[in-house]
Structure 1
Amino acid sequence: MTEQKQTIDEQKVLPFKYDAGWTGVPNAIFELYSFHPKFTGATLRVYLYLLHRFNHTEGYAWPTQDQIADALCVSRSTVVTAISTLKELDLILVNRNPTYDNDVYFFKRPIANRTAFEHRFPEALAKRIKHERSRLADIQQRHERKQAFEKIQAAAKDGLL
């Protein structure tokens, strides 16, 4: 791919021109993995940072846990927990590099199908159902408040208040 063609294609990814670099994220991370109870904002940030540090030539990322913590302004224990979650969710594979005695991170393809994801991680299904029930209750409460307000408005308009 020519450099000009690549620049044009990259600009289609973002809704604005941005020359300082960017990191792509599979939609399933937002749409499915966010429903897993262990997938926190810190987990997402560590995943994004590892994607950002991925080396296409080597086929893996290799920042240290201290580098991740410093770059994201989080504690090392937060990084350790996030990496553990990413491994549990089968998003990364962590190996030890014997030459440099550090961890290297290989990426695995996320599950992109909701049914398959919730079959593999039933706790995500439970969280999604709880969330949907909560949202329905919220919608119902807002509807009831709107109706009550409209009754008060109509009464005030009719001079009954």
Structure 2
Amino acid sequence: MKADFEPVRDFTKVHNALFTLYTRLPDFKAEHAMLYTYLMARFNPSYGYAFPTSCDIALALNCGINQVTAYKRVLKKYGLIATRRHPTYGNDVYTLRAPIVEEAEFYAAFPDASDYYERRLAQLSARKERPDKADAVEDTGEMAALADWL
């Protein structure tokens, strides 16, 4: 059964590894996954690459040109894209590479990701275990007595 909102046209398929593995890297954020997805959407199979300008990307991602450059740097660092300058038009041409999808292979390639992910998991788990502020202090009447005294 299909979900009512499942797209039938004008959509982009991307590897779930961007969200399940690559976000375990300290400097890989949602914006990097979004840029990769955008480049996948702009990929031209006849040419074998995507070629949006940095301005096109900045407009699509609602960010500045310098931010686009920073996002591209991270995607290159993790082997998700390669770039070269188009000899005639001067814009970047993007060759996309498939992400690593196997967890063991991913951690072998990026050993720091495991430690970072475990630290984040511990932080978020500890936060979940903290009591709500409303539950943290039980009112025993001492606050009222203190207020009366003041």
Looking at secondary structure, tell me which structure has more helix per residue.
Answer: 1
CA-to-aligned-CA distance 1:79-128 (integer Å, 9 cap, x gap)? 00000000001001112221322211011111111122122112211211
2:127 to 124, 138, 147: 138
Could you say which residue in structure 2 is the equivalent of 1:69? 58
CA distance in 2, matches of 1:44, 1:101: 25
Say what the alpha-carbon RMSD is for the aligned residues.
2.3
- Gapped regions of structure 1 (runs ≥ 5): 1-10, 153-161
Question: How many residues get paired?
Answer: 135
TM-score with structure 1 setting the length: 0.73
Describe how 1:106-117 pairs up with structure 2 within 5 A.
Answer: 106-117=95-106
Q: CA 1:53/1:126 → structure 2, altered by over 3 Å: closer, same or farther?
A: same
CA distance in 2, matches of 1:129, 1:112: 19
SS in 1 for 2:26: coil
2:34 to 45, 69, 72: 45
- Which segment drifts farther, 91-100 or 76-85? 91-100
The Cα of 1:131 is off from its aligned counterpart by 1.7
CA distance in 2, matches of 1:33, 1:45: 12
Could you say which residue in structure 2 is the equivalent of 1:84? 73
- Gapped regions of structure 2 (runs ≥ 5): 139-150
| Percent of paired sites with the same residue | 34
**2:54 touches 2:91 (CA, 8 Å); kept in 1?**
no
Could you say which residue in structure 1 is the equivalent of 2:25? 36
The Cα of 1:16 is off from its aligned counterpart by 2.6
